[in-house]
Structure 1
Amino acid sequence: MKLASITFYPVKSTAGHEVAEAEVQPWGLAGDRRYLITDEHDKVLTARTEPRLLACVARLDGDALTLTGPHAGPLTVVPTAMLSVVNVGRTPVKLTDCGDAAAEWLSGLAGHPVRLKWLDDPTRRPVNPAYGRPEDRVSLADAYPLLLTTTASLARLNDWIAEGALERGEEPPAPLPMRRFRPNVEIGGVAEPFAEDHWKRVRIGEVDFRVTKGCDRCVLTTVDPDTYTKGKEPLRTLAKHRRWEGKVWFGINLIPDAPGRIAQGDPVIAL
């Protein structure tokens, strides 16, 4: 098995982009999901309800964050010193506001007033204690530092989707791309689809990770990242083949044992 791709998302629920290598920090890939978008009342907004956010591409050059989108010219973000408490999941977290220019730029994209917030101190947010250790931390990702998927599992899922379409007398749709699932690391060369369900630990290059739990999937996977429209897949097919505990599952969540670097092509070993 090998590391097929690395993707990171500087701003939660905006477009991701691939990188050839990345630094793994205790709370996730360096720079991954350190920013998020809120409404005027500091409620977190995501592409689940605001699909247009996927039109924003955020890139980091050192500590400088630049936003690009279809509605305005590029903007380099300059955080302020103003802190506010935002509920990220079930955890209140102090975040730094990124100023009026970033708010105006993103509000133009979203079509209503929003603010950009920055997690200046990534040690503030603990991992769910039911699945992590007291010292484990996570950035602004949904729950855990990294999300892993496999090429083999996506291929099987796309086969199921095509089979379901034929059973309904429909034309099989184009295969879903992996970016629907927004993983940080995609693993190629896995012998069996969904083999990752049974992994307890995994080594990517020289970095060891603990597997916390499978990733239960939400409506965001049904949003086409190119058109920002919602459909029924993949949740309809996952509900048929991958449903238990009242949820549907695709991918696994990871916590790194220690910092390190990973790169495309690195060997991957399930421990």
Structure 2
Amino acid sequence: MGAAASSATAPSPVTAASAAATEAAIPGAKVAEIFIYPIKSCSGISLPSAPLRPTGLRWDREWMVVNEKGRGVTQRVEPKLAFVQVELPNEAFLEDWEPSQDSFMVLKAPGMEPLKVCLNKQHEVANGLSVWEWSGSAWDEGAEASQWFSDYLGKPSQLVRFNTASEVRQVDPDYVKEHHSTFFTDGFPFLLISQESLDSLNEHLEEPIRINRFRPNILVEGCEPFSEDLWSEIKIGRFSFLGSKLCGRCKVTTINQETGIAGREPLETLATFRSGKVIRPNGKNKGAVYFGQNLVWNWNDSSAKGSGKVLKVGDPVYVLRKVSSPAEMPA
């Protein structure tokens, strides 16, 4: 989590040699869980499968809450967002499903009546919105949604949806050479973490924590702890992904997603063995703490053509290229 730092060199695009290695690759891991977070900083949804889009998993961070200045609101300042439960129709996770006027996203939160947000309607455009380095327009989800979040947070708020008709939010070209875009993520379409990395961290903590502190899209299992640091090119099932940068973690990881209370962990413990000073002693951002890796989907790869662009729990993970140490990965 956190805004992306600048001045780094991304791993090179897929080469013929690395593509040829796919057939010989041995699955070293598999997908254990898949998560999306339809509204930025609100609760996630665990899925057995999710359609792939160049901007990320379908529906992921397509909405966000903004304050009266149009700035994106996150748990960093409003931890109560952790309690906002998001429900989408079951059919929304079919690859080619399109919503009708009777298709809704339903929001629930303590002390609030459920809010229904239509997934297919004409929107008014809200201008002057921003999240991290990006600014532009978004679709306003209307007065009822604004009032709901304003009442819940106790201050003027607005629910907006990414304006796919006119906006493109490009991934930082300092990290990704080819053109990739995303919606309201912190900067990259995908975040991958291994269960073994979480297990290793929990061995250092007095009170174990859940993966929801880190808000990944893809949780894998069956590899060595923190081996995902080294993956510069992988395949999940038949889809190619490129490692973009190690994920620097922020205050949100310290917020208990069940209580909304912030503490000092896990950042305090992670800093002892996962800081830039420790794992990237000759690099920049020595004070940053890293956990997980940001990815982009190589959607121009020939294996991504046609139908069936769906990521599934149980898909094997093939490591096609890797570096020898985290110091060699962008961060």
TM-score between both structures, scaled by the size of structure 2: 0.76
Q: Count matched residues.
A: 259
1:236 paired residue number: 268
1:86 paired residue number: 129
2:290 paired residue number: 249
What are the superposed Cα offsets for residues 152-205 of structure 1, whole Å, 9 maximum, x if unpaired?
0011111122xxxxxxxxxx32x1101100000000111x21111111011111
* Counterpart residue type for residue 310 of structure 2: R
2:110 paired residue number: 70
Alpha-carbon distance in structure 1 between the residues aligned to 2:203 and 2:70: 41
Alignment of 1:72-151 (within 5 A): 72-78=112-118, 80-121=123-164, 124-151=168-195
* Counterpart residue type for residue 227 of structure 2: A
Secondary structure of the residue aligned to 1:158 is: helix
| Cα contact 1:4–1:186 (8 A) shared by 2 | yes
Q: Highest CA radius of gyration, 1 or 2?
A: 2
State the Cα RMSD in Å. 1.4
Q: CA deviation at 1:134?
A: 4.7
Secondary structure of the residue aligned to 1:36 is: strand
Q: CA deviation at 1:82?
A: 2.4
Secondary structure of the residue aligned to 1:143 is: coil
| Cα contact 1:31–1:60 (8 A) shared by 2 | no
Q: CA deviation at 1:135?
A: 2.1
Q: Which runs of 5+ in 2 are unaligned?
A: 1-28, 93-98, 277-285, 321-331
Alpha-carbon distance in structure 2 between the residues aligned to 1:202 and 1:229: 36
Is 2:194 the partner of 1:194?
no
1:226 paired residue number: 258
1:206 paired residue number: 238
Q: CA deviation at 1:93?
A: 2.5
Secondary structure of the residue aligned to 2:149 is: helix
What are the superposed Cα offsets for residues 240-259 of structure 1, whole Å, 9 maximum, x if unpaired?
11011220000000100115
* Counterpart residue type for residue 68 of structure 1: K
* Counterpart residue type for residue 50 of structure 1: E
Q: CA deviation at 1:110?
A: 1.1
* Counterpart residue type for residue 209 of structure 2: L
2:211 paired residue number: 178
1:169 paired residue number: none
| Cα contact 2:125–2:137 (8 A) shared by 1 | no
TM-score between both structures, scaled by the size of structure 1: 0.92
| Cα contact 1:206–1:262 (8 A) shared by 2 | no
Percent of aligned positions that are identical: 34
Q: CA deviation at 1:120?
A: 3.0
Alpha-carbon distance in structure 2 between the residues aligned to 1:40 and 1:215: 29
Q: Which runs of 5+ in 1 are unaligned?
A: 162-171
Secondary structure of the residue aligned to 1:77 is: strand
| Cα contact 1:160–1:237 (8 A) shared by 2 | yes
Q: CA deviation at 1:67?
A: 1.0
Secondary structure of the residue aligned to 2:184 is: coil
Q: CA deviation at 1:83?
A: 2.6
Alpha-carbon distance in structure 1 between the residues aligned to 2:287 and 2:112: 42
**Which range moved further: 201-210 or 10-19?**
201-210
| Cα contact 1:223–1:231 (8 A) shared by 2 | yes
Alpha-carbon distance in structure 1 between the residues aligned to 2:215 and 2:43: 9
1:48 paired residue number: 76
| Cα contact 1:39–1:113 (8 A) shared by 2 | yes
Alpha-carbon distance in structure 1 between the residues aligned to 2:136 and 2:233: 29
